Chains A and B, each alone.
Chain A
Amino acid sequence: MRARLVLLIAGFAFLALAPPLANLLEQPFYIDLLRRVMIFAIAALSLNLILGYGGMVSFGHAAYLGIGGYAVAILSFYGVNNGFIQLAVAIGGSVLVALVIGSVSIRTSGIFFIMITLAFTQMLYFLGISLDQYGGDDGMRLAVRSDFGGLIDLGNATAFYYLVLVVMVVFMYLIHRIVHSRFGMVIRAAKSNEARTRAIGFSPYLYRLAAFVIAGAMCGVAGLLLVNHTAYLTPDFMHWTRSGEIMFMVILGGIGTSVGPVLGALVLLLLEDSLSGMSGFVGQHWQLFIGIFLVLVVLFAKRGLAGLLPGAQRND
């Protein structure tokens, strides 16, 4: 318990100190890389809320990255660069889409749930491709980043980095509160034993739907951050492989653990980055090595990387 807390604090301290360190070492590239890691960590954290705690295996979570991204890019296209408006639209759009997808998919379970969430997200993906005025397949450049007035300048790499860090930490805390609240206990109970949950008097549907919508809204914020990070939007934000990647992060880091998604995002993206940068066979076939690594983690670390940390046996 204590060792776990120390590790957690050390991890946050490292993330907080990374920009000055990177500047000192004259490797600003790492600020960029870690910012990308944390944006995906936010997406993975939100997926973990429904996948890890709610047992809802959504194979379409990238949809909300897309909604958040398109909210910013389309508004910007029409000259609305106000970040607060973009944020409101990103969250509102994600909530609406999650309501639609969730209200249909949550009536099913197992493989049907996976397929329906995947199907909806593919529909959005092809909708993105068909939007010719917004670049269609090629996507569109985000000429001006979200403008949050004097509050924060996303054009400043370091300031943007700290914004992402703060959002990630705040979301981690929110999710921590949610999964330990009465609400969280219901969705975890429904995951653990649905028949028992109904028999003691809960109707899980609305609780699950609410969790699904909260997760979608959080991932929509990740989408807003991601499009500001890449300064370029393509329908690939919503491609099914992107959904898969976020799911890998959760599984790799540890399903239903508080820090797992962050660890998963960190390790997966760092591996991708370093392996794909290698020359020769490894560099050409880097996906193969990531695949082998994932298989090994799934086989030998039941609760993912977070399960290997001290104090992980505690049932929280």
Chain B
Amino acid sequence: MTEPLLDIEGLVKAFGALRATDGVTLDVQPGETHAIIGPNGAGKTTLIAQLSGTLRPDEGRIRFAGEDVTALGAAARSHKGLARSFQITSIYREFSALDNVALAVQAHAGHSFRFWHAAREDDALRAPARAILNEVGLGSRADVPAANLAHGEQRQLEIAMVLATRPRLLLLDEPVAGMGADETQRMVQFLGKLKGRQTIVLVEHDMDAVFSLADRISVLVYGRIIATGTPAEIRANREVRAAYLGEELDA
């Protein structure tokens, strides 16, 4: 095995008596799409918050690209190349789609203590932002206020913002949550195109999406990883079937 891009070891986060993350050890290889699944309350949200830097773990460490990032906050991790989407769409609703992506480009284009020139007329920000919008299929919606986009488009926009930070690892928190069947299919197709080019950690409830996208799957139950393996291995794993998947695997 090559050096993992993301290497999590013995991660613990407790809220009072509840150990929401209870000794999670996990690695993500470069280029891999690694899904994390688990029933409600398994601690997925807590885990992703620690990976993205919004929550500090009590124990354990997180290494990213060979560097210990456990103590870094969200903004610093973004600069290391770790980018996330949120479970509940997190965009700038009153700005246009293009503004949204241009801001993500700007965040990685040096400091922003520039007070004079209009950011919206700055080709160094607008051109890359436009290219990424085209890539995710929102090119024709560039000037629409983000609040007026359809739900699926907003999710695409968020992924566009994540991509605009030119990440080495995408942390996608339920990217198809709340989507209709058509939208889900389009998003899965789009993520399929990213797969292989990008390293992706995918936290997702939609089993069809997970099993069609993931190279490996880790199953989180009560804060612990009970199994990690290929989709076929996970399907066949007794413990997983008992704990969680049941009828969904038979389908």
Contacts and interface: CB of A to CB of B under 8 A. Distances in A.
Contacts of B102: 185
Contact of B91 (A182, A183, A193, A203): A193
A49 to B, nearest CB: 11
Given A200-B107, A201-B79, A201-B108, A177 B115 contact: yes
B71 interface: no
B93 A192 contact: yes
Nearest to B78: A201
Measured as residues with beta carbon below 8 angstroms from the partner, the interface class of chain A is 20 to 34
Given A189-B103, A195-B54, A201-B75, A183 B86 contact: no
B65 interface: no
Contacts of A185: 99, 102-103, 106, 112, 119
A182 B104 CA distance: 12
B120 interface: yes
A182 B95 contact: no
A280 B227 CA distance: 82
Interface in A159-202: 177-178, 180-186, 188-189, 192-193, 195-202
B122 interface: yes
Contacts of B104: 200-201
A26 to B, nearest CB: 45
Contact of A315 (B94, B115, B162): B94
A18 B112 CA distance: 40
B17 interface: no
Contact of B116 (A181, A192, A195): A181
Nearest to B121: A180
B251 interface: no
A275 interface: no
A203 B107 CA distance: 9
Contacts of A192: 92-95
Given A180-B120, A192-B95, A210 B113 contact: yes
Given A181-B119, A189-B103, A315-B145, A200 B113 contact: no
Nearest to B107: A201
A202 B112 contact: yes
Nearest to B93: A192
A87 B184 CA distance: 61
A198 B119 contact: no
A296 B31 CA distance: 58
Nearest to B125: A182
A207 interface: yes
Contacts of A183: 112-115
B96 interface: yes
Contacts of A200: 78, 83, 103-104, 107, 161-162, 164-165
Contacts of A207: 112-113
Contacts of B120: 180
Nearest to B120: A180
A195 to B, nearest CB: 6
A103 B109 CA distance: 26
B204 to A, nearest CB: 18
Interface in A78-116: none
Nearest to B118: A180
A302 B63 CA distance: 48
Interface in B80-99: 83-84, 86, 90-96, 99
Nearest to A207: B112
A201 B116 contact: no
Interface of A: 177-178, 180-186, 188-189, 192-193, 195-203, 207, 210, 315
26 contacts: A178-B115, A180-B118, A181-B118, A182-B122, A182-B125, A183-B113, A185-B106, A189-B92, A196-B86, A197-B103, A197-B107, A198-B75, A199-B52, A199-B78, A200-B78, A200-B103, A200-B104, A200-B162, A201-B75, A201-B78, A202-B112, A203-B76, A207-B112, A207-B113, A315-B95, A315-B96
